[in-house]
Structure 1
Amino acid sequence: MNLPGARRLKSLLHALAFFLAAAAALVAASIVARHFPGWPEEIVIGGIGVLLTLALTAAFLRWDRKRFSDIGLAWDRRTHMRFLVGLAIGCALVALHAAIVASTGQVSWTRNTQVDATGIAVAALGYGLLALREEVAFRGYPLRTLLPAFGVVGAQLMVMTIFVAEHRLGGATWSNAVLGSGLGALVFSMAALVTRGIALPLGLHAAWNFGDWMRGGKGDHGMWTMRIEAAHSAHVNEVAMVAYVSVMLLTLFCLAALYRRNQITEGKGDRGIRS
């Protein structure tokens, strides 16, 4: 859909205003978390971030005279199933990536005895809340606001750019921000477009982050501790990055094919109705 220039500009400004407000909400959540030193940071930041981002979404929807269902944030009978499918796909992607890295023969994993069932549950909840905050903040109002004005490619690239910037400002290296978060943003956005909601990308996102934590990909506090031989660390890191890019591009290709098929099917249906 091609909108007039004034409406395109309006959509862009509304999306940018939301991004800025959501970023401010994340900063506020991080400040509040400092006052709860005994609480898991992921849960405090994620929980407060979700509430503030949902409140912002409600305010912007009222501004645009829209409803939550217009941007794919309404619960329906298939929401839980889409979330579970997303979890399954995300777990499979983590397992595939870990298998590729393990094939180098220079990586080993040992069980971290300091992490018990409570620690696993806390991590699962924390990463789930953080993923939910990001999905609402990026694949909710902004993506759906930009889509009619700039199309699938334009909207995706804009959301990806802000997603990369947020992770870079959060301390990620440029390579991790662009290749890691950037490709992830494209995959999650396409999953949201295919299903017209955030349940599937939320499952994907949460499963990937939690699975990466489980295998020691986020430091030495996961369920397993990853050990890489020092002499081969550069090679293993290269393999890990190439594997990640390959896995994400394959997922993006499959989702894009599904989206294209849905568009063709809906087009045929529209022609049938008009005839």
Structure 2
Amino acid sequence: MKTINRKTQPLFKVALFWGAFWLVLFIFRALSVPFLKEWMSLLVASVIAGLSFILAALLVKKERKSLADIGLGWNAKSVAKFMIGTLCGMLVMAIMLFIILGFSAISIELAPAPDYWNAIGYSALVLFALAAMEEIAFRTYPLFRLSEVFGVRTAIYITSLFFALYHGLSPMNLLGPGVWGLFFAISAIAFKGIAVPLGLHFGLNWLQSFVGMKLQYASSIWSIAPGEDNGLLSTETLGLGLQLFLLVLGVVVIEIYLRKTSKTGQSSL
């Protein structure tokens, strides 16, 4: 009975946390404020990130734990970790773009009359807020609480699955956001906080925004232009191949980390 309670209680709290997150998200996304239209994404993400933080803090306080126990601790190295994560995210996305450009028919062109403030400044604000909202929702209380009960491996895959579902019910989200969720989660566990995954998440999205892949949030500096079908592979095939490669890489990284830490007794599988 104690074992059942030990597992069902955390599951209930994680379900409560996610239920509250999705409910607030649904309510705020349904709001329409015409004079704030251009700022709504930033405002909604910021408010929900703040509310999610408060809820996570209340849950850990009730459990007599600290924010650091769920990856929300802050120290002198947090900014440096975030910057490193951001650079890594931008580098990974740049490599992926160069591969697609080199082996497919698409090209990148300078956008007509780019609005640099919107494309660089505002995009940084809104994409940081969105990344913070999602990292708090999936890589703080749910990830660390589930890892305590079911082990790190199971917690990573559960939170990554729900992260994929959060982006939509399309099976392709499992190979998109779901795969990135593996990297965000293992980096949160390995670095004991969300500074690195937050930077990684932000860096990936920010560079995508520069080439017009986040136009729902901000304008771009460049745009992707389709060309004649004379590439070695189609863009879709290349994209799928890269995501499958990242999936395998993510699983391998997780297993290497778990085996390394299990030998030193630092984590539970």
Q: TM-score range by the shorter chain?
A: 0.7 to 0.9
Against the structure 1 CA distance between its residues 36 and 165, is the aligned structure 2 distance closer, same or farther, given a 3 Å change threshold?
A: farther
Do the aligned residues in 2 keep the contact of 1:194 with 1:255 (CA within 8 Å)?
no
Deviation at 1:28, TM superposition (A): 3.0
Q: What residue is the counterpart of 1:163 in the other structure? A: 163
Segment drifting more, 78-87 vs 40-49: 40-49
Deviation at 1:208, TM superposition (A): 0.6
In structure 1, give the amino acid aligned to 2:156: Q
Q: What residue is the counterpart of 2:121 in the other structure? A: 121
Do the aligned residues in 1 keep the contact of 2:179 with 2:250 (CA within 8 Å)?
no
Deviation at 1:36, TM superposition (A): 4.5
Deviation at 1:188, TM superposition (A): 0.5
In structure 2, give the amino acid aligned to 1:104: F
Do the aligned residues in 2 keep the contact of 1:33 with 1:44 (CA within 8 Å)?
no
Deviation at 1:95, TM superposition (A): 0.9
Do the aligned residues in 2 keep the contact of 1:187 with 1:248 (CA within 8 Å)?
no
Q: Do residues 100 (structure 1) and 99 (structure 2) align?
A: yes
Deviation at 1:24, TM superposition (A): 1.4
Deviation at 1:247, TM superposition (A): 3.8
Q: Do residues 40 (structure 1) and 39 (structure 2) align?
A: yes
Unaligned runs of 5+ in 2: none
Q: What is the alpha-carbon distance in structure 2 between the residues aligned to residue 55 and residue 112 of structure 1? A: 40
Q: What residue is the counterpart of 1:226 in the other structure? A: 224
Segment drifting more, 4-13 vs 231-240: 231-240
Superposed, 1:21-100 pairs within 5 Å as: 21-32=20-31, 34=33, 36-100=35-99
Superposed, 1:243-258 pairs within 5 Å as: 243-247=242-246, 249-250=248-249, 253-254=252-253, 256-258=255-257
Helix, strand or coil: the match of 2:179?
Answer: helix
Against the structure 1 CA distance between its residues 224 and 255, is the aligned structure 2 distance closer, same or farther, given a 3 Å change threshold?
A: farther
Do the aligned residues in 2 keep the contact of 1:194 with 1:259 (CA within 8 Å)?
no
Q: What is the alpha-carbon distance in structure 2 between the residues aligned to residue 216 and residue 86 of structure 1? A: 22
Deviation at 1:32, TM superposition (A): 4.2
Do the aligned residues in 2 keep the contact of 1:193 with 1:259 (CA within 8 Å)?
no
Helix, strand or coil: the match of 2:234?
Answer: helix
Q: What residue is the counterpart of 1:150 in the other structure? A: 150
Against the structure 1 CA distance between its residues 218 and 232, is the aligned structure 2 distance closer, same or farther, given a 3 Å change threshold?
A: farther
Q: 2:178 pairs with 176, 182, 201, which one?
A: 182
Q: What residue is the counterpart of 1:130 in the other structure? A: 130
Deviation at 1:35, TM superposition (A): 5.1
Q: What is the alpha-carbon distance in structure 1 between the residues aligned to residue 156 and residue 50 of structure 2? A: 24
Deviation at 1:74, TM superposition (A): 1.1
In structure 1, give the amino acid aligned to 2:135: E
Count residues in correspondence.
261
Do the aligned residues in 2 keep the contact of 1:190 with 1:252 (CA within 8 Å)?
no
Do the aligned residues in 2 keep the contact of 1:42 with 1:127 (CA within 8 Å)?
no
Helix, strand or coil: the match of 1:44?
Answer: helix
Identity %: 25
Against the structure 1 CA distance between its residues 91 and 112, is the aligned structure 2 distance closer, same or farther, given a 3 Å change threshold?
A: same
Instruction: Give me the TM-score of the superposition, normalised by structure 2.
Output: 0.87
Deviation at 1:49, TM superposition (A): 1.5
Do the aligned residues in 2 keep the contact of 1:100 with 1:243 (CA within 8 Å)?
no
In structure 1, give the amino acid aligned to 2:171: W
Segment drifting more, 206-215 vs 242-251: 242-251
RMSD: 2.4
Q: What residue is the counterpart of 1:4 in the other structure? A: 3
Q: What is the alpha-carbon distance in structure 2 between the residues aligned to residue 158 and residue 222 of structure 1? A: 34
Do the aligned residues in 2 keep the contact of 1:97 with 1:244 (CA within 8 Å)?
no
Instruction: Give me the TM-score of the superposition, normalised by structure 1.
Output: 0.86
Against the structure 1 CA distance between its residues 248 and 154, is the aligned structure 2 distance closer, same or farther, given a 3 Å change threshold?
A: closer
Q: What residue is the counterpart of 1:240 in the other structure? A: 239
Q: What residue is the counterpart of 1:140 in the other structure? A: 140
Deviation at 1:40, TM superposition (A): 2.8
In structure 2, give the amino acid aligned to 1:165: L
Do the aligned residues in 2 keep the contact of 1:29 with 1:48 (CA within 8 Å)?
no
Q: Do residues 213 (structure 1) and 209 (structure 2) align?
A: yes
Do the aligned residues in 1 keep the contact of 2:135 with 2:197 (CA within 8 Å)?
yes
Q: What is the alpha-carbon distance in structure 2 between the residues aligned to residue 26 and residue 202 of structure 1? A: 19
